[in-house]
């Protein structure tokens, strides 16, 4: 199928609608027809844009993580700030976007992580690639913080980055369970301790 601007816009609209809905309901709880209705795309045209539901899920996750790491790159590249300041700005932004009831599609890793890992190998791999990209950026910023003297860690930067990401992902799940930001506040305090801030 040749790609046209209209095809690209329609495909993007389907993915936008899916991200909004799935951030609330999860992957299994959403039917393709619900996504198409939200996107204003006629029923039956789904397979014109995606080869399968798995391919759709993979495209959704790839696009989500591409946008997420682009935003992360902008935040972590702020000039005139130390690596520690940039990292803490990232964690504060995470707390703000995860501690609200409606995350507006900004929390797919939290919402879909465990669910899709058991449903689809291609989606699990897309999730793994995306989360690895986040940890890569955390590692680079921790390394920069060691170099500029704004951060100190007991372990290596990669292990610290992975531990922080895992902790924040878990804290986000707990914030949903408790319906409050206390687990994220605990993660923020632990982050400062781990980075010796």
Dist. CA 194–CA 171, nearest whole Å: 16
Instruction: Give residues with Cβ within 8 angstroms of 51, minimum separation 6.
Output: none
pLDDT tens-digit map of 124-159? 999 999 999 999 999 999 999 999 999 999 999 999
pLDDT tens-digit map of 51-89? 988 899 999 999 999 999 999 999 999 999 999 999 999
DSSP 150: S
Distance of CA 93 to the CA centre of its chain: 12
Q: What is the pLDDT of residue 140?
A: 98
- Which residues in 151-184 are b (16+ Cβ under 10 Å) and which e? bebeeebeebbbbbbebbbebbbebbeeeebebb
pTM above 0.85, yes or no: yes
Token pair of 87 as six digits = 């990292």
pLDDT tens-digit map of 89-109? 999 999 988 765 555 445 788
Instruction: Give residues with Cβ within 8 angstroms of 96, minimum separation 6.
Output: none
CA distances from 56 to 50, 70, 83, 86, 106 (A): 6, 21, 37, 34, 18
Token pair of 91 as six digits = 């964690």
Dist. CA 127–CA 153, nearest whole Å: 27
Instruction: Report residue 189's pLDDT band, with 50, 70 and 90 as the boundaries.
Output: very high
Token pair of 128 as six digits = 């793994």
Nearest to 83 by CA among 19, 171, 145, 163: 145
Listed in sequence order, the DSSP H helices in 40-107 are 46-49, 53-76, 83-98
Instruction: Give residues with Cβ within 8 angstroms of 4, minimum separation 6.
Output: none
């Amino acid at each position: 199928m040749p790609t046209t601007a209209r095809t690209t816009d329609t495909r993007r609209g389907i993915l936008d609608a899916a991200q909004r809905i799935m951030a609330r309901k999860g992957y299994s709880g959403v039917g393709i027809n619900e996504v198409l209705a939200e996107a204003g795309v006629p029923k039956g045209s789904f397979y014109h844009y995606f080869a399968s539901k798995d391919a759709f899920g993979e495209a959704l996750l790839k696009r989500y993580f591409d946008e997420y790491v682009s935003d992360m790159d902008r935040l972590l590249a702020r000039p005139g700030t130390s690596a520690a300041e940039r990292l803490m700005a990232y964690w504060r932004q995470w707390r703000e976007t995860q501690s609200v009831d409606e995350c507006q599609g900004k929390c797919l890793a939290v919402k879909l992580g465990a669910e899709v890992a058991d449903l689809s190998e291609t989606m699990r791999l897309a999730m793994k690639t995306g989360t690895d990209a986040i940890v890569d950026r955390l590692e680079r910023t921790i390394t920069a913080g060691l170099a500029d003297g704004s951060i100190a860690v007991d372990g290596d930067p990669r292990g610290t980055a992975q531990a922080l990401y895992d902790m924040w992902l878990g804290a986000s799940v707990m914030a949903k369970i408790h319906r409050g930001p206390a687990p994220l506040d605990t993660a923020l305090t632990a982050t400062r301790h781990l980075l010796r801030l």
